Structure 1
Amino acid sequence: MSHSSVREEEKQPGVAEGATEGDGGGGRHGRRRARPRRKHRVLRWSATTLAVLILGTAGAGYLYYQHLSDNIGKGERSSGDSKAKKTAPNAAGQTPLNVLLIGSDSRDSDENVKLGGSKDNRGNPPLGDVQMLIHLSADRKSAAVVSIPRDTRVDIPKCTDPKTGHVYPATNGIINTTLARGGAGCTLATWQNLTGVYIDHWMTIDFAGVVRMADAVGGVEVCVNQNVWDHPTATQKGGSGLRLTKGRHEVKGKKALQWLRTRHAWGSDQMRARAQHMYLNSMIRTLKSQNVFTDGGRLMDLAEAATKSLTVSEEIGTPKKLYNLGQQLKSVPTDRLTMATMPNIQDTQDRNHLLPEPAGAAKMWQMLRDDVPFDDKGADSKKKTKEKVSDDPAAADDQIAVAVQNATRSSTLGPADGRARTVTDVLLGKGFARATADTTPGLSEEATVVRYPSADLEGDAQRIAKSLGIPLSSVKKSTDVSGITLVVGADWREGTTYPKQSDPKAGDVPENSDEINAADDSKCMDVYPPYQW
C-alpha cells in the first residue's frame, strides 16, 4: 500500500506562538524521512492505559454501575481469519492475558472533527494509528507493553465487517488500515497472525475520548537534557510548539499533548516513541504515588471519563468485567512493567513504511507466546515441562498420510521456494510413503506446526513431528485441516533438518526494541540540535 493511503493532517489551534501544528514535511534528521502523522494519536494510548487502571479500582452502587455500563461501547472480538490459539496453562493452571489497545482517528462527530482537524475526512473509515499490546504474565507478576508503528507493512487477513457484513479480502498493507477493514476485530486478527499470540480483548479510544481522559489525568513529570523548542525551521515545516528549559518539568493539558506529539526535536519517529513511553511510565508512577486508586471521589470522576472514552470487545463490555481486568493490571509492580517497540527496518518497497526486523521481531513474539518476562527481576513464568506423548498409538510410518505446505512467506520476506517439495522428499526418504506436497500458494505461518483434525490422529501427527525433530508442543489439534498437515513456517526456510530453537531468557529483549522499565525515573530526552535554544 502506498503512503498516499494515510490521510494528511490539517493545522489546528492550541500550539505555541510562532509554531504550526503537524509534523510537516519529510526531513530525515539523520535517521529516516519523517512521515505525515495524525494529531493526538499518542495521547490516546495514555488515555486508554489510564482508563484500564482506573476501572481496576472503581466501585459504585447499582444505579451508578448501570450508568457506567451504558457509557461503554462494545464490538466483536475478532472479525478476521486467524489460527492463533490460547497459550496452555502453566503448572498452576494460569494463563497469560493479552489486551490490544487501539487509538482511532475517527472523525464521526463535530467534536472529533474539531479535535482531529481534516474536516474533509469526516465520515471516512477510521485508521488505527496507535496499536499496543499489553501482555500480562500467567502469574500476574510482570507485564510487557509492545507497540507496532502505524506504518508497518504486514499481511492483513480476510475480514468481515460485523456491522455491514462486507467482506474485505486478504491483502498486504500498512497495519493502521486494518481498523477500516472490519473494525478492531480485524486489527486483532492481524496482530494474531503476525505474532502468533492469542489476544483476549481489544479496546479503542478516539480523539474526544483522549481529551476527556487527558483532562482527568493531571500533571506528569518529563525531562529534557537541553532546552527544547519544537518549531518550524528553514528546512522543516511544522512542529508541536513544545518549549521547555533543560531539566524536569510537570506537564499537563496542552503542554502534555505537545510533549507526546513532538518528533522533530527528538530527531525521529523512534525517538518520539521513546518520549511517549517515558511519559506513560511517569504517569503510572505519578498515579500510584498519589494513591489515586484509593481516592473514592477522584475515582468516580475518572471512572466516568473512562467509560465514556472506551469501546471494548463485547466479552468485557461491563464495568464488573473491566473492574476485574483492571485489578489484574494494577497488581503488577512498577519495576516489573516494560515498554518496548517492535524491532523494525525500512520497507524496501516504500521508504516511508516499515517492516518487522526478522530476527528481533521473531524473538519478541516468541517471548510473548512463551510468556517470558521482558524484565530480569523474576524467573520465567513458563516452566519447561516434559512433552506429553499421546496415548494414541501411531500407525506404521508408510501408512501415515501427511500433506506438507510451504508457509514460509512473511511480511518481511517472500516465500522460500520449494519448501513443501523438499520436506516431502525428506519424509519419503524416511519411509513415510503417503507424504504429499500441497502447493497452495501464499500461505504464511510464523512457526512450523503439525496440525491434525481428530484425537485418533494425534499419535500419527506426533510421529511425523518426532521424525523431523519438531517439538511435540508444535503438534496441534485443529478443525482447519481434514488430515495431518505439516505447515513449514518462516522458522524453517532452508535445510532438511528442523533447526533447533533457542529459548529466550527473562530480560533477554532484542537490543533494537528500545525497552524502558516503568520504574526507571532517570530518563531524559536528548534534543536534536536545530531545536535547542
Structure 2
Amino acid sequence: MAHSSVDQEGAVPRARHAGEPGAESEAEGGRSARRRSGGRRRRPEPGSPKPKRRILRWSALTLAVVILGTAGAAYLYYEHLNANIQKDKLNLGDSDVPEATPNAAGQTPLNVLLIGSDSRNSAADVALGGAKQEAGRPGLADVQMLVHVSADRTNMSVVSLPRDTEIPIPRCTDPHNGHKYPALSLAMANESLARGGPGCTVATWQKLTNIHIDHFMMVDFSGVVDMADAIGGVPVCVKQNVWSHTSSGHGSGLKLKKGTTYVKGEQALQWLRTRYGFEDGTDLGRTHAQHMYMNAMVRQLREKATLDNPGAMRDLAETATKALKVDEGLGTIKKLYDLSEEFKRVPTKRITMTTLPTVEWSQDKDRLVPAPQDADQLISMVRDDTPLDGRGVKKKAEEKAKTPADPDGRIAVQVRNGTGTDGQAPAQQRALAVVQILQGKGFARAAADSTPASQAKTTVLYPSADLEGDAQAVAQALGVPLKQVQKSTDVSGVTLLVGADWRTGTAYKAPSQPTKAPTSAAVLPGDQKGACMEVQKGFTW
C-alpha cells in the first residue's frame, strides 16, 4: 500500500553513503550486475523508450555529485543543505484528520500547505515591508495555498484562501513555550500563523476542509525575493500600466508597464502583495495575481532546474533550503527532492489554480466569508480527489466497506438534525423520523440526539478506527456513499448527521457529483501563458 508520504515505496531511492552496508560505486555496482547476468547487457523490451529518453530519477546526493563533480565534496554539500533547512511541528491543533482511503491501486493523495509569511524576524524582512517597530512580531499567513496532488498523480489542484476571509481557528499549542491559544469561532484566516506557528495554520485548514494535510512549506518576505532572483525572474503581465500607490500611502509600490515583465527582487514581492491596483482592489484580486505568479514560477523552475544546468541547480538548492521552513517530515534535502519529483509527475496542463469562493461578510464589508454552496463544492471535490479541470474524470467504484464490529441490532447510533443550512430552518422532527427509518432496518439502538448541528451533506461520523465498520454499516443501510463516512473527534460514538440534502422522505438519494470547479473559484489552468491582470481604475500611469 502506497502512502502520501514523499519518502515512500516508488520514490527516489536513497543514495548510500560511503561505509554503509551495501554501498558501492555506480561503476562497480554495474560490473557486479553484469557478472551475475553472464556479462551481457539486457536488451530493452520491445517498444520501451531508449535509455537517453528515459526520465532519470536522481537521489539528492547524486544531484549533488552532478553539481559539484566529486562524491566527497557532494556529501559535504548535501549535509550543508540539510543544515540550512528550518523545521517546525506539522500540526498544533488538538485533533487530526485521517488520511484519505487508498484507491483500488493502494494510492493516496498528497496534500501540502504553502504559506507565505509577512514575518519581520530579520533585518532583510523589515527592509522589504512594514515599519521598523514591527520587527520581531509574530508573522501572519498572508498567502495560503493548499496543493492537492491526486492519488494517481495525474492532476494537481491548488486552492487559495484570501487572507481577509473570516473562518474558525481551532485551539493551538505553541511547541516552543507551551502557550495554549483558545479556539476562535471566527477570525481572519491569516491570524492562525501567529498562534504558535505554521502548525496552527495547518490545523485551521484541516478544521475548515476536513482534509488531511501531509506537509507544509513556508517562506517569508526575503525568501520570496531570493527565490525569484535564483531563477532569473518570473514573467507576469498587466493589461495597462500599473502603479500600486495611493495619496494616503497605501499600496505595494509596484510600478510596471503594460505587457509582460520578468519580476525579481523586491518587485516580485510587490507583485505578490499588491491589492490596490489589481481588479477591484480587494483581496481577491491579489489572490488571482498570486496564481499567475505561481503558474509562471512553476514553468520557470521546470525549464531551468535541469541536469544540464548544474550552476542554476546549485543556486536554486542553496536559495530554497535557506528560504523555506518545513514540517519535520520534510526536514532533509532528500525528502524535499522526493516531494519535487511527486509534483513533477503532474503535467503542467493538469494543474488547476483556484480561489476558495467567498462572499462579503454581513458584519464588515472589508471582510469575506466562504460562500456556502460553492465553497462546499470546491472543498468536497478536493476531498474526494476529483479533478477541478473537468478533464479525465472517471466514475469511481464504491469502496469496499469494512466488516462491522457488531450486528446491526447492537450498533448504537445517535441521529442529529443538521438540515438547517443556507438560511433554511431545520426540518421539524427530522432526527426522530430518521431514527424510525433506522429502527425499521434493524438498528434497534438508534436514538435522536438534540445536539445542534448544521450540515449540507448527510454524513456518518465515528470517533475511532474500531467503530469505522459500524459507521459504514449505518451508511450502507441508508444508501449514504462511503466517502460520506468520516472520522471525527467531535463525536463519542457512531453519529448520523442528517444534512440539508435529506430534509424529507424515507430513502436517501446521494446528490450528483460535480465534475468541474464552480466558476466563482476563478479557475486558472497551469498551462495558460496568456493570463494578464486587469488594472484597477485610478491606478494607471
TM-score tier by shorter-chain length is: 0.7 to 0.9
Corresponding residue number in structure 1 for 2:526: 518
Corresponding letter in the other structure for 2:513: D
Which one of the candidate residues 249, 260, 285 is aligned to 2:261? 249
Q: Cα distance, 1:480 vs. partner? A: 7.1
Listed as ranges, the matches of 1:253-332 within 5 Å are 253-266=265-278, 267-268=280-281, 269-290=283-304, 292=306, 294-332=308-346
Cα distance, 1:351–1:117 mapped onto 2, change above 3 Å? same
Deviation digits for residues 402-426 of structure 1, max 9, x if unmatched?
123456799x889958765564465
Q: Cα distance, 1:448 vs. partner? A: 1.3
Cα distance, 1:470–1:300 mapped onto 2, change above 3 Å? same
Q: Is residue 225–residue 268 contact of structure 2 (8 Å, CA) maintained in 1?
A: no
**Whole-angstrom distance in 1 between the partners of 2:340 and 2:61:** 3
Corresponding residue number in structure 2 for 1:145: 158
**Whole-angstrom distance in 1 between the partners of 2:486 and 2:331:** 31
**Whole-angstrom distance in 2 between the partners of 1:74 and 1:226:** 41
Higher relative contact order (CA 8 A, sep 6+): 1
Helix, strand or coil at the partner of 1:260 = helix
Q: Cα distance, 1:188 vs. partner? A: 0.8
Helix, strand or coil at the partner of 1:351 = strand
Corresponding letter in the other structure for 2:357: P
Corresponding letter in the other structure for 1:384: K
Cα distance, 1:442–1:308 mapped onto 2, change above 3 Å? farther
Helix, strand or coil at the partner of 1:94 = coil
Cα distance, 1:502–1:227 mapped onto 2, change above 3 Å? same
Corresponding letter in the other structure for 2:117: S
Corresponding residue number in structure 2 for 1:339: 353
Q: Is residue 450–residue 465 contact of structure 1 (8 Å, CA) maintained in 2?
A: no
Q: Is residue 225–residue 264 contact of structure 2 (8 Å, CA) maintained in 1?
A: no
Corresponding residue number in structure 2 for 1:20: none
In the alignment of these two chains, the number of paired residues is: 470
Cα distance, 1:216–1:57 mapped onto 2, change above 3 Å? farther
Deviation digits for residues 385-435 of structure 1, max 9, x if unmatched?
2442444486354x432123456799x889958765564465456664432
Which one of the candidate residues 91, 97, 101 is aligned to 2:104? 91
Corresponding letter in the other structure for 1:504: P
Corresponding residue number in structure 2 for 1:469: 479
Q: Is residue 97–residue 488 contact of structure 2 (8 Å, CA) maintained in 1?
A: no
Cα distance, 1:442–1:297 mapped onto 2, change above 3 Å? same
Corresponding residue number in structure 1 for 2:411: 400
Corresponding letter in the other structure for 2:535: V
**Whole-angstrom distance in 1 between the partners of 2:425 and 2:76:** 57
Cα-Cα RMSD:
3.2
**Whole-angstrom distance in 1 between the partners of 2:116 and 2:419:** 31
Cα distance, 1:307–1:372 mapped onto 2, change above 3 Å? same
Listed as ranges, the matches of 1:112-261 within 5 Å are 112-172=125-185, 173-232=187-246, 237-261=249-273
Q: Which runs of 5+ in 1 are unaligned?
A: 1-53
Deviation digits for residues 210-240 of structure 1, max 9, x if unmatched?
233233232232222223333335xx65333
Q: Is residue 234–residue 296 contact of structure 2 (8 Å, CA) maintained in 1?
A: yes
Corresponding residue number in structure 2 for 1:14: none
Corresponding residue number in structure 1 for 2:397: 385
Q: Is residue 57–residue 323 contact of structure 1 (8 Å, CA) maintained in 2?
A: no
Corresponding residue number in structure 2 for 1:359: 373
Q: Is residue 456–residue 501 contact of structure 2 (8 Å, CA) maintained in 1?
A: no
Cα distance, 1:165–1:240 mapped onto 2, change above 3 Å? closer
Which one of the candidate residues 118, 121, 124 is aligned to 1:108? 121
Corresponding letter in the other structure for 1:93: G
Cα distance, 1:290–1:415 mapped onto 2, change above 3 Å? farther
**Whole-angstrom distance in 1 between the partners of 2:83 and 2:157:** 31
Which one of the candidate residues 483, 487, 494 is aligned to 1:484? 494
Corresponding residue number in structure 2 for 1:375: 389
Corresponding letter in the other structure for 1:461: A
**Whole-angstrom distance in 1 between the partners of 2:488 and 2:239:** 54
Q: Cα distance, 1:131 vs. partner? A: 0.6
Of 275-284 and 399-408, more deviation after overlay is shown by 399-408
TM-score with structure 1 setting the length: 0.79
Q: Is residue 415–residue 431 contact of structure 2 (8 Å, CA) maintained in 1?
A: yes
Corresponding letter in the other structure for 1:514: A
Cα distance, 1:221–1:106 mapped onto 2, change above 3 Å? closer
Is 1:82 aligned to 2:91, yes or no? no
Q: Is residue 244–residue 255 contact of structure 2 (8 Å, CA) maintained in 1?
A: yes
**Whole-angstrom distance in 1 between the partners of 2:350 and 2:321:** 27
Is 1:449 aligned to 2:460, yes or no? yes
